[in-house]
Amino acid sequence: MDINSIIAKKRIVGPKSELDKDEIKYFVGKWMKGEIKDSQAAALMSYIYTNGLTEDEIIRFVIEVGNSGDVLDMSEISDNIVDKHSTGGVGDKVTLILLPVIAALGLPVAKISSRGLGISGGTIDKLASIPGFTPNISIQDMKDNVKNIGISIVSQDLNLAPAEGKLYKLRNEISCRDSIVLIAISLMSLKVATRKQ
Looking at the structure of the chain, the number of domains it has is 2
Distance CA 134, CA 52 (A): 38
Whether the Cβ atoms of residue 111 and residue 146 lie closer than 8 Å to each other: no
Strands of 84-191, DSSP E: 109-113, 151-155
15 & 59 share domain: yes
148 & 115 share domain: yes
Distance CA 119, CA 175 (A): 16
Q: Is 114 helix (H, G, I), strand (E, B) or coil?
A: coil
> What was the pLDDT predicted at 123?
79
98 & 148 share domain: yes
**Poorest-confidence range of 88-92, 111-115, 152-156, 163-167?**
88-92
- Asked whether residue 80 is domain-assigned, the answer is no
- Asked whether residue 87 is domain-assigned, the answer is no
> What was the pLDDT predicted at 43?
97
> What was the pLDDT predicted at 133?
86
SS3 content of the chain, % helix, strand, coil (to 5): 55, 5, 40
Residue partners of 13: CB distance under 8 A and separation at least 6: 51
Distance CA 30, CA 103 (A): 39
> What was the pLDDT predicted at 88?
56
Query: What residue type is assigned to position 83 of the chain?
Result: D
Distance CA 174, CA 177 (A): 8
- Asked whether residue 81 is domain-assigned, the answer is no
- Residue 152, exposed/middle/buried by CB under 10 A (0-12, 13-18, 19+)? buried
Share of the chain above pLDDT 70, in %: 91
pLDDT tens figures, 149-180: 999 988 876 788 899 989 988 998 999 988 99
Q: Is 70 helix (H, G, I), strand (E, B) or coil?
A: strand
Share of the chain above pLDDT 90, in %: 51
51 & 34 share domain: yes
- Asked whether residue 22 is domain-assigned, the answer is yes
pTM (two decimals): 0.82
116 & 174 share domain: no
Residue 108 or 87, more confident: 108
123 & 171 share domain: no
15 & 30 share domain: yes
> What was the pLDDT predicted at 76?
86
Residue 197: pLDDT band (50, 70, 90) is: very low
Distance CA 195, CA 197 (A): 6
With 50 as the cut, is the pLDDT of residue 186 above it? yes
8 & 30 share domain: yes
With 90 as the cut, is the pLDDT of residue 3 above it? yes
- Asked whether residue 104 is domain-assigned, the answer is yes
For residue 168, the domain's CATH number is 1.20.970.10
Helices and strands of the chain, counted as H and E runs: 9, 2
Q: Could you list the residue range(s) of the whole structural domain that residue 146 is in?
A: 93-155
- Asked whether residue 77 is domain-assigned, the answer is no
- Asked whether residue 79 is domain-assigned, the answer is no
Q: Can you tell me the mean pLDDT for 3-7?
A: 97
Distance CA 43, CA 36 (A): 11
60 & 112 share domain: no
**Poorest-confidence range of 9-13, 17-21, 120-124?**
120-124
> What was the pLDDT predicted at 90?
63
> What was the pLDDT predicted at 168?
87
53 & 38 share domain: yes
- Asked whether residue 30 is domain-assigned, the answer is yes
